Structure 1
C-alpha cells in the first residue's frame, strides 16, 4: 500500500471534509466563540468504588492535553493498517507522537474541566448538565461503569452534545452523539472465549457484576457458547457492594466448570481473587476486563491471578517501541501511577483523536467535527493502529491475548492486528445515514436470541 504522509493527508483533508458535508447532517449549535480556550469536559471517578480506574483515565487525558497544548499530535491518516511495522501498524516509527504545527487546537489552548462524579450515577447526570449548560464545554468525555454511561446518555442526547465513552464495555450503543474508543464484545469476549474453550474445555461458569455491564456480557457469553462449542454450566450476578465470595466459590466447585468467564468489577469485587486462591480454587479464567483494567496481577500476591486469560486492547507490558515510548512519557508526568491500564490508553487516544478531528474540520463546531469523525479517520495509538468506524462510532482495535502465569508474569500468546466493531453493523446500524439513540443487546440479534 502506498504511504500517505501526514503532510499529504492534511493537505487533502479540506476536500474530503467538503465531500462528507454533502451527507446532509445538520450543524449542531454550540458555543459560537472560537477565540477563547477549547473547553474540554471530563467526568472520571476520582473517588468512590471506581476511582481505581478513573484516576488513570484522568491522568492520561491530562497527559494528552499537555501534549496537544505543547504542539504535539499522534500520527493520523485516512486508511488502515498496511505498513510493515512489527506491531502491525501503519508506520514503522518507534514513536508516533510528532509535532503538529499547532499549539493547542487551531491555535487555541485546551482547558480541562474535570469535576469528580464520585462513582455515582446521580452525580454523573448532574455534572453532565453542568458541563453542557453552564460551562458550555465543546466536548464531554468520561465514565467508567456502563451504568454511569447510561445515566449520562439521555442528558447528552437531550442537549445534543458530543460525548466520548473511553472504556471497554459490553457493546451495542448506537447513538448519534456518542463515540466509543474502548473495545467491545466482538473484540474481547469472542476472542477470549475461542481461546479458553480450545485450551481449557467447554464447561463455563460466569460470575458477573449485577448491573448492565455484567448482565449483557453474560448474555453475550450465553449466546456465543454454543456457537463456539462451549456450554454455560452456571452463572450468578453479584451486587457491587459484595466483598465476601465464599458462597460463589462453593457454587463454582459444585458446577464442575472447566474454566470461569469473569465479569466482576470494582474494588470490592477484586477480593474474589485472593479469596479463591486461599480456598484452593484452581480454575483457568477468561475475561474481558481483568489484568488490563484492574491490574490485579500487580495488586495481589501471586498466584491469585494465575491462569487468567484476557483479550486486551492495551496493557503497560506491551513490548513494542511505540508503547515503551508512551510509557516513558506517561511516567515522566505521573511517576507514582500504579499501572497504566487499558482505559487510560483509550482516554489518551480519544483526546488526541478529538484534536485531530478539530484540526481537520478547522473548527471545534460540533457538527463539522462529527462529520470528520464520520468520514473515516484513524490514529496510530501506542497499542497499534485504530480506526473510527463511521457507521457505528466505535473503533477497530489491535487485540492481544494476555496470559498470566503463576508468578504473575504476562505473556501475549495471540494477536489480532485489527478487529473491527462489526456486530451492530450486522444489525443494520449506520449512524451516518440513520441517527439512533439506543443500546442493542444480543437478544436483538436473531442469530443469538435462540441461545439466550
Structure 2
C-alpha cells in the first residue's frame, strides 16, 4: 500500500468518526444500520425535542409527557413484555442540530423509532435521514400536509381538521375581514394557503398577510399594519416564544379582544400559562384536545400527569396529548409487528407497516377514540374550537360530532392521493417519500 497524505487523512477520518460515533457503519465492518432488538434488553426510542431556545415552550412538555407515557407503559408490562428506554436529546431549537441528532439516534444509539419535532422546518430537516435509513418518525403535532412519506406516523391534525372549521366559525361570529400573521417558515405559509381557500368559501376577505422570523419577539410593525387595516379578527400561525410575545404585545398596544380576537392553531394552555392568562383570555384555538375535556380518561391523564414528577409546568396541552397518544400508537404497532414477524425481527419499517388502521380507544386516548389512517398514516380525530377563559383554561365552543378523516392533499387534489406505498397520481403512477 502506498503511504500518501491522502491515505493518512482517510484513515484518520475513519478512526475519528468511529470514536465519535462508535456504532456507525464503516466500509468493510459488516455492521448493519439501525436498531437491533434482543429479548431481555430494553427497546430504545429517541425523544428529539428542544429543551432550550425559542421552541422549548411547547417542546419541553412533549419530552416530559413522553417520559410519563413510557413510565406508564413500563409499569403495565412494557411493549411486548419488554421495557422501553428513552434516549433524550436537546435539539436546541436549531434545525441543524435536529438533523445531526437524528443521525446519532439512528446510527449511534440504535433507537427503533424517533418521537420528535414541533415545527415542519425541523421535521423536514430530519426526514431525509429517516427516509434514507428506512427508519420511523412519530410526528405528534399539527402540520400542513402536502407530504406523503413511508416512514412517518402523525398524531396531530392536518389543515382540513382544524383551520377548515376555525375560519368559517370566526367569520360567522366576528366578521368577514381577517389579517394573517405567522412565523416565517413552511407550516404557517402552507397552512395559510389552506386558510385562504376556507376564507373564500366562507365569504371572508383577507386584508393582509405578514410573517416574522421564527423566534422573533418584535411585533410593533405588524401590529401597526393591523391597526391600520382594522380586521374583524386575526388568524395566527405564530409559534413558540414568538407566540407569547405576540399575544402580550397585542394587549400592551391597546388592542381589545372583544373587538379583534386572535384565532390560533398553536396558542394553548402551555403558551397561555407562559404569557399569563390575562393575555390569552378571550382568544380562540382550534385543536383536538383541551385540558378541560370532561371524560374519565382525560381526568385520569390530567391528574396523573400533573401529580407526577413530569408535571412541573402545571398544565396539559394539545401537543402533549398528541405526543402521549403517539406512545400508545407505537406500543400497538410494535406488538402487532412482533406477533407477525417475531420480536427480534421487528424493524422501524415493520412497525409502520403494521400501524395502519390501529385504533386508540376511549379508555387510552384523553381526547376520545382516534385511529391511524391505513393509507396516509395520519390520524382520524374530532376537531374542536376552544375559547381561552380568565383562568387560562379553554371552554370548548364547537366540536365535531364524528372523527374527521385526515386529508394531506385537501387543496391539491390534482397531485393525487397519499397511499401506504406512496403518492398515487391521477395517471396511476406512484412516487415514494414525497416531502
Q: Identify the TM-score tier after normalising by the shorter chain.
A: 0.7 to 0.9
Cα offsets for 1:278-322 (capped at 9, x unmatched): 222121221111125x432x3334542233122111121222222
Give the match for residue 360 of structure 1: 336
Aligned partner (choices 276, 301, 307) of residue 332 of structure 1:
307
Worse-matched range after superposition: 196-205 or 430-439 = 430-439
Cα drift, residue 121 of structure 1: 0.6
Worse-matched range after superposition: 48-57 or 364-373 = 364-373
Query: Does the CA-based 8 Å contact 1:249-1:281 persist in structure 2?
Result: no
TM-score by length of 2: 0.82
Please state if 1:430 is matched with 2:381: no
Structure 1 gap ranges (5+): 1-27, 72-102, 440-452
TM-score by length of 1: 0.79
Q: Distance in 2 between matches of 1:118 and 1:437?
A: 27
Aligned partner (choices 365, 371, 374) of residue 353 of structure 2:
371
Worse-matched range after superposition: 155-164 or 263-272 = 263-272
Q: Which has the larger radius of gyration?
A: 2
Give the match for residue 291 of structure 2: 316
Cα offsets for 1:68-121 (capped at 9, x unmatched): 1112xxxxxxxxxxxxxxxxxxxxxxxxxxxxxxx2122221111112111111
Aligned partner (choices 35, 46, 60) of residue 31 of structure 1:
35
Q: Helix, strand or coil for the counterpart of 2:280?
A: coil
Aligned partner (choices 141, 157, 165) of residue 115 of structure 2:
141
Structure 2 gap ranges (5+): 1-31, 423-430
Please state if 1:251 is matched with 2:239: no
Q: Distance in 2 between matches of 1:259 and 1:388?
A: 34
Give the match for residue 28 of structure 2: none
Give the match for residue 397 of structure 1: 381
Please state if 1:347 is matched with 2:294: no
Q: Distance in 1 between matches of 2:277 and 2:70?
A: 36
Query: Does the CA-based 8 Å contact 1:295-1:341 persist in structure 2?
Result: no
Cα drift, residue 405 of structure 1: 4.3
Q: Helix, strand or coil for the counterpart of 2:79?
A: coil
Change (3 A) 1:303 1:421: same
Query: Does the CA-based 8 Å contact 1:175-1:431 persist in structure 2?
Result: no
Query: Does the CA-based 8 Å contact 2:69-2:327 persist in structure 1?
Result: yes
Q: For this pair of structures, how many residues does the alignment match?
A: 378
Query: Does the CA-based 8 Å contact 1:259-1:285 persist in structure 2?
Result: yes
Worse-matched range after superposition: 313-322 or 197-206 = 313-322
Worse-matched range after superposition: 181-190 or 317-326 = 317-326
Give the match for residue 289 of structure 1: 266
CA-based RMSD: 2.0
